[in-house]
Structure 1
Amino acid sequence: MMIGASTDYDVLVAGGGNAALCAAISARRAGASVLVVEAAPRFYRGGNTRHTRNMRCAHDEATETLSGPYFEDEFFDDLLRVTGGNTDADLARMMIAESKKMLTWIAEQGVRFQPSLGGTLSLGRTNSFFLGGGRAMLNALYRTAESLGVEVVYDAEVVGLDIEGSQFRAARVRHAGTETTVRAKTFVAACGGFEANIEWLKEGWGEIAENFLIRGTPYNRGTVLKMLIDSGVGQIGDPTQCHAVAIDARAPKFDGGIITRLDCVVFGIVVNKHAERFYDEGEDVWPKRYAIWGRLVAAQPDQIAYIVFDAPSLDLFMPSLFPPVKASTLGELAGKLGLEPAALERTVAGFNDAVQPGHFDQTSLDDCRTEGIEPAKSHWARRIEQAPFYAYPVRPGITFTYLGVKVDRRARMLMDDGRPAANMFAAGEIMAGNVLGQGYAAGIGMTIGSVFGRIAGREAAALVSSTCPSSEAA
């Protein structure tokens, strides 16, 4: 589809991922005319949603695809734990309450879920996995949106915003080599953070950001976010806070996705370029701690680290895209990694001496721990002594950033002075910092996107309807 010379819509949605589509579908079902402008080409549509696998929603009982209940209070406690309390509690509780409706609503939009998963991920009770993954989920949402009459344009980047006070008037959209002014009664920003903008990352992180890998889309450069902040929309979040995991150092600079993530940290030790351990690898179950490891590796020399383990652990975790580095001795392994062999052997020996007897249980917080060593390993501590030995090199993998725009319970953007914007809404990563001040729990990004996307679309359509009573339900 091409953007016409004269365009006028009820709702303009910037972005093409989960949050954007939930907003578009919600608005269209309420009778609004909707245009979605996606900066990526059609094949790469959907931002980071393409790389997702699941979403975390509260529910009161087991279902066909979830192994047990996950009550609102437990969800909130998990959120407080991973964020260290750095969250807007009112918004977070509202989001969690609304999430209970999302599993049904999202399925009504054509998204299918698969039976619960156990194993290393430990998410069978809390998280619903998309049948076919994130791309299948996206395709279902796009089919529904387009069948409802939502218009979608690809390779269409918002390059300018006409905002008077707190009132959105129009957007300049670059498409097919030309810029077109798109007018709309309401605007929904659902176009991600700025993780693909390395220069912006450097403003918070310094030059070490050059060594970061961007595991998500290269199209999230924060263009709309910056324009909104410059136009007086309230800002929230720390520019250095983000979803940052340890991913394979051999991954591409952009778009490596979920298959470059490594889930084996809890089963081995992690050392830096000096072959020294620097954090408790067994602090908690992996879904509640995997997103701290990108930041931990970022703090190490040259932003590089190595996950080291032995033969008994090889089949305990989900494999990634790249095979592990393999060797018959620790010294040989160190040589392949570019580490000092004596240093790695010394670190492993010290760790092995500190391991206490216990009953290993990969599915729970077991009693396998260390004593007399810093940092300790709290759980899943087993001696690393059975050849062959393995390792993965890892670097910080940035998924999305938390610096964003402030919103209220109706997904309305809040201006610098705290007033709600007249007709501007936000959903997804661009406002995730309201809920995620720091840290992450698996699947919560999709929860933020779908819940606030649905609210944003509903509220945008209601605003249009209140000013234009002739709107009819689609």
Structure 2
Amino acid sequence: MIDVLVIGGGNAALCAALMAREAGASVLLVEAAPKEWRGGNSQHTRNLRCMHDGPQDVLVDSYPEEEFWQDLLKVTGGQTNEHLARLVIRASSSCRDWMRKHGVRFQPPLSGALHVARTNAFFMGGGKALVNAYYRSAEKLGVQIRYETPISELVLEDGKFIAARTESGELIHAKACVLAAGGFESNREWLREAWGVNERGEWPADNFLIRGTRFNQGVLLKFMMKAGADIIGDPSQGHCVAIDARAPLYDGGICTRIDCVSLGVVVNRDGERFYDEGEDFWPKRYAIWGRLVAQQPGQIGYSIIDRKVVGRFMPPVFPGVKADSLPELAEKLGLPVENFMQTLSSYNAAVRPGTFNHTVLDDCRTEGLTPPKTHWAQTIDTPPFYGYALRPGITFTYLGLKVDETAAVRFNDVPSPNLFVAGEMMAGNVLGKGYTAGVGMSIGTAFGRIAGTRAAAAARGAEQSRSA
């Protein structure tokens, strides 16, 4: 019998498998995707948010624990477990050497990644390179890997893991198990159930695009809920970003994100603004915009800029719609010209002069406008003008299994002796809502490593019990 079974194939699963193997356990990792699509959402990541008290290799200045915690507290609105959040924050300061040992390489932040040189360590080659490095290391260490092996259910006895059943009916027994199979963001029916019908009679989830893998259907999460595992989180909350409306249904990844939102204005299909585009630095606010767009008519928005800000943001994969005048841009985007021009005229008239600097919270703002634009407000008056249609792009969901610092799955607040969870399946303990760049990888890395270590120890305990 295998010591530790790891279910999932992304960052959290790989961290668990590597740690369990390093602890001396025999490990089998099962991934639902075929080999060419392995890695879950982790293949689309690019960095890890890291606490550090001084300059460290690819990180500049310092990013102390308290500042990291305050950043997380702000974006979650207090919907976070402080004990577990601080555990993740502290773990983020010491994991990079271990990651390097397993082949992960880091680079200085990309030139277009504003404001994160101090807080985030970037992977050389992005998340795909990180995933491939971990798989190579796992294979070298003797971790068994099976692709195209989706798990449909677990065999449990009083909270104890006995075996996992594949979709084909095969039973895989193990002394301990780590669940790291992702959320339910690719399950359209579950998303519809979570978001429901809005006041306009629309099903918002029908217009969501999935930024990551199509394989995160939430099968095991739903099974664990029915099995009585303790649950945390709101099913409608998740990492939801405004992305290019032309993005593919799945696996568009980072390149489909529209990063000029804070440098212009955003209007809905009626040509009206609906939120402060300059509220805070983009890496701290980008993950609220998917939800904001989801609340608009037709679940669509339009980011509008002029020539002055071209080159100041990471260019998306698709070019914007271009026009020599604002009325022409409205027509090309299919927006009501009169409403659109009224919105832009009111905005331009409300802009107060300041010293524009998109690397700081500058003094360029609007006055007497609702909603305001707090920073980086410049008149939009210099052709050519550009517009990008936006759709909600869901990355991962926050409904998950409740845990403590041991990463054990809990039933009626009693921890399982040999079943653990990591990654998206428990991220809601730390992320009740909101997001800040790189923290998903911090959570997956911290709890993946804890879960793998604990699973190996549980397997050793089971072996000792049998031999006693």
TM-score, with length taken from structure 1: 0.96
Matches within 5 A, 1:56-135: 56-117=49-110, 119-135=112-128
Q: Please state how far the C-alpha of 1:342 moved relative to its aligned partner.
A: 1.8
Aligned residue number for residue 459 of structure 1: 454
Cα distance in structure 2, aligned partners of 1:144 and 1:120: 29
User: Aligned pair 1:408/2:408, yes or no?
Assistant: no
Q: Please state how far the C-alpha of 1:119 moved relative to its aligned partner.
A: 4.8
Q: 460-469 or 345-354, which moves further after superposition?
A: 460-469
User: Aligned pair 1:196/2:186, yes or no?
Assistant: yes
Contact 2:417 2:458 in 1 (8 A): no
Q: Please state how far the C-alpha of 1:466 moved relative to its aligned partner.
A: 2.4
Correspondence for 1:431 among 426, 431, 438 = 426
Contact 1:158 1:173 in 2 (8 A): yes
Q: Please state how far the C-alpha of 1:277 moved relative to its aligned partner.
A: 0.1
Q: Which string of whole-angstrom CA distances, capped at 9 and with x for unpartnered residues, describes residues 106-161 of structure 1? A: 11111000023455521001000000000001010001111000011111100121
Correspondence for 1:23 among 16, 23, 28 = 16
User: Aligned pair 1:52/2:58, yes or no?
Assistant: no
Q: Please state how far the C-alpha of 1:294 moved relative to its aligned partner.
A: 0.4
Cα distance in structure 2, aligned partners of 1:133 and 1:441: 18
Q: Which string of whole-angstrom CA distances, capped at 9 and with x for unpartnered residues, describes residues 54-112 of structure 1? A: 01011121122111211111111111010011001111111111221111211111100
Matches within 5 A, 1:298-313: 298-313=294-309
Cα distance in structure 2, aligned partners of 1:341 and 1:26: 58
Matches within 5 A, 1:242-253: 242-253=238-249
Aligned residue number for residue 173 of structure 2: 183
User: Aligned pair 1:161/2:154, yes or no?
Assistant: yes
Cα distance in structure 2, aligned partners of 1:254 and 1:297: 18
Corresponding residue pairs, total: 460
Cα distance in structure 2, aligned partners of 1:144 and 1:203: 40
Contact 2:418 2:459 in 1 (8 A): no
State the Cα RMSD in Å: 1.2
* Structure 1 stretches of at least 4 aligned residues deviating more than 2 Å after TM superposition: 116-121, 466-471
Contact 1:241 1:402 in 2 (8 A): yes
Cα distance in structure 2, aligned partners of 1:239 and 1:108: 37
Matches within 5 A, 1:38-437: 38-117=31-110, 119-174=112-167, 178-206=168-196, 207-415=203-411, 417-437=412-432
Q: Which runs of 5+ in 2 are unaligned?
A: 197-202
Contact 1:259 1:321 in 2 (8 A): yes
TM-score, with length taken from structure 2: 0.97
Q: Which string of whole-angstrom CA distances, capped at 9 and with x for unpartnered residues, describes residues 286-343 of structure 1? A: 0100000000000000000000010011111001111000000111111111001122
Aligned residue number for residue 448 of structure 1: 443
Q: Which runs of 5+ in 1 are unaligned?
A: 1-7
Q: Aligned residues: percent identity? A: 57
Q: Relative to 1, partners in 2 of residues 1:18 and 1:147: Cα closer, same or farther, differing over 3 Å?
A: same
Q: Relative to 1, partners in 2 of residues 1:362 and 1:119: Cα closer, same or farther, differing over 3 Å?
A: farther
Contact 1:38 1:45 in 2 (8 A): yes
Cα distance in structure 1, aligned partners of 2:338 and 2:326: 9
Contact 1:120 1:316 in 2 (8 A): no
Cα distance in structure 2, aligned partners of 1:470 and 1:201: 44
SS at match of 2:93: helix
Contact 1:120 1:286 in 2 (8 A): no
Cα distance in structure 2, aligned partners of 1:295 and 1:30: 42
Q: Which string of whole-angstrom CA distances, capped at 9 and with x for unpartnered residues, describes residues 400-445 of structure 1? A: 0000001110111111x11111211000001000000000000000
Aligned residue number for residue 32 of structure 1: 25
